[in-house]
Chain A
């Protein structure tokens, strides 16, 4: 290969599983960032399993993000 030739970008996934994992991770991650955190999740009610909404909602998002990473690993992304 000619060293001056541009390579295909590594910033965008090339496989279907790669695109799925990246999209899912980014979408979920945005749920744990402003403005979602400060405008939508920022409330104590309702209480869920005896815990405030904000805390539980973020915990659920974090768990989902971990599942995405494990899914990507199992799929060999």
Chain B
């Protein structure tokens, strides 16, 4: 049987499995909005673990990271720093977000921030930032899916058609089963992608070099420039290392699809255990990615720009059996879809809750909002598709931009979750975010990464300075609200209401 038939067939089998899970999840739905959007706040450790890691690692981890090792060398091992930081952030901040969500019924990041800062302007600003920057993430995943199915089918299925098919499948099971369907499919996807990337990398390293150690030795002999900083193209400067670490940890955790996951945990201890252990999965997935990227640079040199993101599937097709290639590319599909469905769900939740329910039709039935959410998914699918076929940037660049945007929520979130600092005001928060986004645009597009420091960090610095200074002269939230919210944090962390 031809390789492309096997590879495409296995991806189809995988897609059918996800749709079946969506249908089963649909039968378990209670028709309650909290059940549809937040899994009824009942997610246990195993399900939450696998959905968090599967959502964090996406087409970016499966394709983009291999491409980055291929182009820029071992500097991408910096990825370990941001995955570790994600664990610590989850441990320290995720638990507080969970506690506040449980106490006050928050469903979205904007719910929490608008409540504390007593401002609908804050709600709208946060909702817009959440949606705009995670739509970039939809684009990343959709492009990844397009690459995968295009390569798997031996270019018989076009990039555009592949993207559309996989977007539709994700939207179908999301609309059928809500977050329950997303979580169940993420469990399958989380296991599949981890096994797939490790098996693929090991098989390739033995096939091409005689083993992982021989692979490293060959890289040191043939391309020593890939084994030191700042890499062949001088990319990994100290400023870029720090910037990517901050942007791809805080910036991704503060995206709505990750924050909403904290709300869904069954208890705070589950979030803490999640924080302590997720880096094991997240960090170790970059070990095989390094083998693929660095080894690929030796055996398949010459791929440039976005082409380098295709190194893993190209190697599989060239050097492994069709069955293994198919199974691994289904794993790559899982990596992209598990993030895609999470972002579709998060944006659906934000637009339904923070825009439609709040400003357009506030007093409708739960079923009405669920159906509106489903309609929003269709709209997001169209936007995501158009964006993904319209541009062709590096996957990593898009992910970084997406993280840099969400990073601008950091001062306002810390203001809610950490009592005892200077209290920000609604004007400070809104103007800070606006200043941060303008700075992000200037330092990413007009004059990229001044002084070698990542644009996301420039945005965060200006944002924080503006937020703090404006807050000196403007009205803070009421003492009652501060006492209510910070008292809940104090009670959760230290077991007493008084600080």
A interface residues, Cβ below 8 angstroms from B: 1-4, 6-11, 14, 25, 29, 32-35, 37-38, 42-44, 49-52, 54-55, 58-59, 61-62, 65-66, 69-70, 72-73
Contact = CB atoms under 8 A, between A and B. Distances in A.
A33 B241 contact: yes
Interface in B449-499: 478-480, 482-483, 486-487, 489-490, 493-494, 497-499
B499 A55 contact: no
A10 B245 CA distance: 23
Interface string B225-244: 00111100000001001100
Contacts of B287: 59
A73 B493 contact: no
Given A38-B241, A54-B228, A62-B84, A3 B418 contact: no
Interface in B40-88: 74, 77-78, 80-81, 83-85, 87-88
Interface in B437-457: none
Interface stretch (B180-188, B271-279, B342-350): B271-279
A1 B479 CA distance: 11
Nearest to B90: A69
Contact of A72 (B81, B91, B489, B499): B91
Interface stretch (B135-143, B212-220, B363-371, B427-435): B212-220
Interface of B is mostly: helix
Contact of A73 (B84, B220, B276): B276
B114 to A, nearest CB: 19
B213 A51 contact: yes
A65 B494 contact: no
Contacts of B241: 33-34, 37-38
A29 B417 CA distance: 23
Nearest to A39: B238
The 10 residue pairs across chains A and B that have the minimum distance between CB atoms: A7-B499, A9-B420, A3-B479, A34-B238, A3-B483, A50-B213, A73-B276, A69-B276, A7-B419, A8-B499
B213 A10 contact: no
B224 interface: yes
Interface in B380-419: 417-419
B242 A9 contact: no
A42 B229 contact: yes
12 contacts: A1-B498, A6-B420, A8-B419, A29-B81, A29-B85, A34-B238, A44-B224, A51-B216, A54-B227, A66-B87, A69-B91, A69-B275
Contacts of B229: 37-38, 42, 54
Given A38-B230, A69-B279, A73-B276, A54 B74 contact: yes
B87 A69 contact: yes
B238 A44 contact: no
Contacts of B494: 14
Given A33-B241, A37-B241, A72 B276 contact: yes
A33 B227 contact: no
A33 B81 contact: yes
Contact-size category for B: 35 or more
A49 B90 CA distance: 33
Contacts of A44: 220, 224, 227-228
Given A50-B213, A51-B213, A55-B74, 15 more contacts: A4-B479, A11-B421, A32-B81, A33-B241, A33-B242, A34-B238, A38-B230, A44-B228, A50-B216, A52-B220, A54-B77, A54-B228, A55-B77, A66-B279, A69-B277
A32 B242 contact: no
Contact of A50 (B217, B245, B283): B217
Contacts of A14: 494
A62 B283 contact: yes
Contacts of B88: 25, 69
B17 interface: no
Contacts of A29: 81, 84-85
A3 B423 CA distance: 13
A6 B273 CA distance: 31
Contacts of B238: 34-35, 37-38
**Among B217, B276, B487, B494, which residue has the most Cβ atoms of chain A within 10 A?**
B276
**Among B84, B421, B486, which residue has the most Cβ atoms of chain A within 10 A?**
B84
B420 A33 contact: no
Nearest to A10: B418
A52 B318 CA distance: 28
B216 A52 contact: yes
B280 interface: yes
A58 B228 contact: no
B283 A9 contact: no
A8 B4 CA distance: 62
B142 to A, nearest CB: 31
A25 B85 CA distance: 10
A9 B421 contact: yes
